[in-house]
Amino acid sequence: MTALRLYPLLAAVTAALACPAVSSHAMEYPLLSQGQTVYIPVYSSVYYGNIDERGQPKEILLSSMLSVRNTDPQHGMTIQSVTYYDTHGRPLREYLKQPHMLQPMGSTDFFVEYRERSGGTGANFMVTWQATRPINQPIMETIHVFSWGAQSQSFISRGQVIRQQNDPQDSAAEPACPSGPAPATH
């Protein structure tokens, strides 16, 4: 390889080492927020197998547990609402009668029973939370479980922030790299 061909490769490697990808910054600099609305998928049932003579696939009912975890070791957060929606976007249930305080590193959960059919395959939770100051963003996941006799299946769905509330800073901004912005990792 000639020096001219090697230079672009060497420049790319040097730039990558000098300015790591965006995902590595997430480990070094936790994103802070003072409140959010988070969408979390719930699978109260899933389809499987083949289409039957009525044109319908078989269906398995699942139980689901929403886990909300405060990841900030020093500051609490308040869960304002936990609303369960069906496949068509209709609210089925509000789980909180009043706001619920989570202490630093605390967690809480909300349960959807196995026999609950009204949510359907596209059910979801919407959780709104707030804090008195910017804190580490909480983790919100649903774990879905099917158990029958000796067989058991489970999987997790992670929440997606759909709205920031009262953020005093642009917490999504990455630190500037000396050689320019980090490459996009979409």
Asked whether residue 25 is assigned to any structural domain, the reply reads: no
Asked whether residue 170 is assigned to any structural domain, the reply reads: no
Range of the domain at 62: 31-164
Instruction: Please report, for the domain that includes residue 84, its CATH number.
Output: 2.60.290
pLDDT attached to residue 147: 86
How many structural domains is the chain composed of?
1
Low-confidence spans in the chain with pLDDT less than 70: 1-28, 166-186
Using CA atoms, how far residue 101 sits from 11, 25, 142, in Å, is: 51, 29, 20
What's the token pair of residue 152? 């058991």
| Vertex 100: Cα angle to 97 and 105 (nearest 5) | 155
Model pTM above 0.75: no
Asked whether residue 184 is assigned to any structural domain, the reply reads: no
pLDDT attached to residue 99: 98
Asked whether residue 1 is assigned to any structural domain, the reply reads: no
Helix (H), strand (E) at residue 26 = helix 22-28
Asked whether residue 52 is assigned to any structural domain, the reply reads: yes
Asked whether residue 10 is assigned to any structural domain, the reply reads: no
Asked whether residue 8 is assigned to any structural domain, the reply reads: no
Asked whether residue 20 is assigned to any structural domain, the reply reads: no
> Which residues fall within 8 angstroms of residue 74, CB to CB, at 6 or more apart?
104
pLDDT attached to residue 27: 59
12: helix, coil or strand?
A: helix
pLDDT attached to residue 13: 43
pLDDT attached to residue 10: 44
